[in-house]
Amino acid sequence: MALTDTFVRQVKHSGAPAGDKYTDGHGMFLLVKAAGKYWRMNYRYAEKQKTLALGVYPEVSLAKARKRRESARELLADGIDPSQAKQDDKKTKISAAAHTFGIVARQWLAKTASERAVSTQEKVTNWLNHDVFPFIGGKPISTIGPRDVLAAVQKMEDRGAVESAHRVKQICGQVFRFAVASGFAERDVTADLKGALAAPEKGHYAAITEPKQVGALLRSIHGYGGHPYALAALKLSPLVFVRPGELRAAEWVEIDLEAAEWRIPGHKMKMDNDHIVPLSTQALEILRTVHPMSGHGRFVFPSIRTAERCMSENTVNAALRGLGYSKEIMTAHGFRAMARTIMDEVLGERVDLIEHQLAHAVKDPNGRAYNRTSHLPARREMMQRWADYLDSLRIGAQVISIQK
């Protein structure tokens, strides 16, 4: 006879040590013990008698227990053991809880760290910590859908960080692909977000390229009253014109003051190739001024909060803002455009040497890429001429345009 809600609610334990059984049909029964009331289902699988736990009353009602019985019978009809399916489902849930987006993303960050420059690793970590983890970091990565990711990156888009939003979406995609390869997710859900974000505006980093204005900028830099590390980084930026991330992550082990060279390892470079920066006498003077302050540590320009990290990515740009140069006029990255333009159009330096020094891909007439030491003596002379020219602009000497 089928059970009723009233009977299930009112029935009491009779005192029998093994408990009392009340059947409901198709193998399901209510087991009443002193400790409580339990739903069970007897069935046969692979010629063996087995029992499946369906839940505890009253958390699992009679109606819900019957639904679970029917689900188990459907599995049996498909040749699946419901007890094994239940165990597998439990393991899946435990695995999902142990592999949240935050946990998997940190595993990906650690495993792929050698593929990125130190500055890039720090930037990606900050993006994840500040813009992604608060929204989906605690969710099992296998349960996250496209709209979950979109909600996070749209927060960045809403505050105007459109380019960063696109970059973070790409990073999330890399995390998902890592999760797929590791067996934690089925697919990269960010593939469904194509066209969901506004297209970033195309443009170049703002830069001052007119010699007289460059002279005024250099005089402002030399009068900067901020932290000594920021001042040194500002002074060095136009002299070496490396990428801002490469400058702030400079390490003393890379710099040979005697040989007047800064050798940047490939893993820090955008093109993944080792790069040599010849140091002018002016650049050496700046570095020798900084050495007593940071030479005992790893970074040339350490963070003022901890020597374990390099200077913040915003330091040079913030210093420029403090000097009155808005982001529409001059940026830390703009020192590269400044050097590229003036060295070519005013000083008449060889374009291939300039491109070498900018760490751009340069090929010989046979289409082969030059190595890091190519034309090093000529580049060394060019860098000294450039430094001397900048001094003349800063001091206010007559500026003579030199045509090629």
Active site residue 321: no
Q: Can 356 be counted among the known catalytic residues?
A: no
Which burial class, exposed, middle or buried, applies to 240 when counting CB atoms under 10 A from its CB (0-12, 13-18, 19+)?
buried
Catalytic residue at 340? no
Look at 316 and 268; give whichever has higher pLDDT.
316
Q: Tokens 């050495």 belong to which residue? A: 291
Model confidence at 404, pLDDT cuts 50, 70, 90, reads very low
Residue corresponding to tokens 């809403």: 158
The catalytically annotated residue of 9, 90, 93, 270 is: 270
Residue 193 or 93, more confident:
193
**pLDDT interval class at 370 (50, 70, 90):** low
Strand order in the sheet with 48-57: 20-25, 28-33, 36-45, 48-57
Distance CA 213, CA 203 (A): 21
Q: Name the catalytic one among 243, 356, 380, 394.
A: 243
Contact present, 290 and 282 (Cβ < 8 Å): no
Per-residue pLDDT averaged across 270-288, rounded? 90
pLDDT in tens, 340-350: 999 998 899 98
Rounded mean pLDDT, 179-194: 91
Specify the pLDDT at position 391: 95
pLDDT tens digits along 236-245: 999 999 999 8
Q: Poorest-confidence range of 132-146, 154-168, 229-243, 358-372?
A: 358-372
Cα–Cα distance measured from residue 215 to residue 301, given in angstroms and rounded to the nearest whole number: 25
Query: What is the four-CA torsion angle of 377, 381, 382, 387, rounded to 10 degrees?
Result: 140
The span from the CA of 272 to the CA of 103, in Å, is 28
Residue 223 predicted with pLDDT over 70: yes
Lowest-confidence region among 7-21, 307-321, 357-371: 357-371
d(CA 250, CA 310): 8
Cβ atoms 311, 302 nearer than 8 A: yes
Q: What percent of the chain has pLDDT over 90?
A: 65
Spell out the domains of the chain, with CATH numbers in brackets.
5-91 (3.30.160.390), 101-193 (1.10.150.130), 211-395 (1.10.443.10)
Mean pLDDT across 214-222: 94
Mean pLDDT of 157-163: 78
43 is catalytic: no
pLDDT band at 401 (very low <50, low <70, confident <90, very high): very low
| Catalytic residue chosen out of the listed positions 370, 372, 375, 385 | 370
- Is residue 68 part of the annotated active site? The answer reads no
Of residues 212, 360, 363, 404, which has the active-site annotation? Answer: 360
Q: What mean pLDDT is reported for the chain?
A: 88
Please indicate whether residue 243 is annotated as part of the active site. Answer: yes
Active-site residue, selected from the candidate residues 66, 169, 268, 336 = 336
pLDDT at 239: 97
pTM for the whole thing?
0.52
Answer yes or no: is pLDDT of 160 > 80. Answer: no
